[in-house]
Structures are given as C-alpha cells and as structure tokens.
Amino acid sequence: MMLSYGVDGLIVEPTKSNLYNPNIAYYLSFKEQDVPFTMINAFYEELEVPFFCLDDVQSSYLATRELIAKGHTQIGIIAKMDDLQGKYRMKGYIKALGEAKLRFHPEQVLSFDTASKPDLSSNVATYLDENRDSLTAIVCYNDEVGLEVVHACRQLGISIPDELSIIGQDNSYIAKNANIRLTTLTHPQEQMGRDAADWVIKNLQGKKDLPTNTYYQPVLVEGETVKEIVVE
C-alpha cells in the first residue's frame, strides 16, 4: 500500500521480528526505488536497514541485576518470543544470572507470542500458582505483562512486593496510570520517533554519513513492586 502511495520515506515498527518475514521483497522494493526507510523498536535481521532501538539486552539485564542486588536468587521471566525485543530481553536476563552465578531454571520461564497473547492472563495465573513456593521475583517483558502479573497475584492472594517482587519494562503510559507504581525501565518512545523522523528528513535532503543504527540506554525507574530480601 505504501509503495502504491508513492511515499517519500517510511518509518516501520516491525512485528514478529524474531521470525522469518515473508514480506522481505517489499522492503527490498523500497531500496530498489531509493525510498529511505528506517525501523524503530526492532528490526529484521535478514535486512541491512538503519534502526532506532532500546538496548533491550541491557534493559532486562538491569532489571534482573536490580533484583539480584535486592537479595533475590529465584527470579523468573515472562517474555514474548516472536519479537526481537523478547529474544534480547531473555538474553539480558540470562547474562545477569550468569554473572551472579545463579542457576537458570527453564521452569521459571513463561514464554508467549502474538498468537497466544489472548491466553496470557490465564497462563500467568497458572505459572504463578505452580511457582509460588519457589519464585520471589519476576522480570516482565513489558509493563503490560507486569500489570497482568499484578492482577493474577491479587486473584491468587499473593502479596506484592512482600511475597513477590515485579519489574516491568518500557515505563509506559499504562504503568504511569496504574493503581500501583510498577518498578520499570525507561523507554524513550518520543525521542525515538523524533530521531527516526529526523533521519528520514535528512536522508531526503541528501545528507550523508547518517547513523546506521542507534541504541538508547535504559534507566531504572523505582516503584513500589520490588522488596529487598533481608537474610537474617
């Protein structure tokens, strides 16, 4: 559709970026026609295309490291695995566990994808119920998932953060307006959009030496969903 409109440039937010994309030919058509385009939040690894992304490995790494610093050793993760962000956030989680010499437990991982997302609420409740005697903390794929965990905990009578600490990611609008202040990591959505638009405009103006990829560094935002474990 965008090709038929004859757009001068394009900003794309990929979906299912961790899976093979059957639409690669369309993106190559843009390249053949010298129509500049860039990607935000993720990219397709099959393509060499400029992108603007959060450092997702670092985001989940910082989240996990914060929990470890607070004395947690049984830390689970909920990740969306058909998106590149989920793959990288899983990598950051594993990296932090490895540095702390903590064992990786596959049963403490709950993965979902676009197709199974409608079942996330029930799957989260089952996951929490099965792991309630072992897990003390969870790293969540994003704030939306974090609030799903909060909701499930209330249904199961699990106290936050006394019994379970939760960290979201992306410092999103829903987290800022929830009835609990979720501990999370920043995500520069507006800056990313401005920078991507600026890149397209400068490309159309014929400017050279533009960045081929840009990573933004996350910062921890403290809320009320993480508790320090004190060993007596």
- Our CA angle for 182, 187, 190, nearest 5°, is 125
| Of the candidate ranges 2-6, 107-111, 132-136, the one whose mean pLDDT is the lowest | 2-6
**Predicted local confidence at residue 191, as pLDDT:** 95
- Please answer whether residues 48 and 39 qualify as being in contact, where contact means their C-beta atoms are separated by less than 8 angstroms: no
- Please answer whether residues 11 and 38 qualify as being in contact, where contact means their C-beta atoms are separated by less than 8 angstroms: yes
pLDDT range class, residue 232, cuts 50, 70, 90: low
- Tell me the angle at which helices 84-99 and 56-69 cross, rounded to the nearest 10 degrees: 40
Q: Quick one: average pLDDT of 40-54?
A: 93
One-character DSSP codes across 197-213: HHHHHHHHTT--S--SE
- Please answer whether residues 96 and 61 qualify as being in contact, where contact means their C-beta atoms are separated by less than 8 angstroms: yes
Choose among 68, 145, 76: nearest CA to 110: 76
Percent of all residues in the chain with a pLDDT value above 90, rounded to a whole number: 81
CA–CA dist 187, 219 (Å, integer): 8
**Predicted local confidence at residue 150, as pLDDT:** 96
Residues with Cβ within 8 Å of 219's Cβ and at least 6 positions away in sequence, in order, are 185, 186
Q: Which structure tokens are listed for 178?
A: 């929830």
Conformation bin of residue 34: beta by default, left when phi > 0, alpha when psi is -120 to 50: left
Task: For 103-136, give the secondary structure using H, E and C.
Answer: CCCHHHEEEECCCCHHHHHHHHHHHHHHHCCCCC
Q: Tens of pLDDT along 119-158? A: 999 999 999 999 999 999 999 999 999 999 999 999 999 9
The answer on pLDDT for 91 being more than 70 is: yes
Name the average pLDDT for the chain. 94
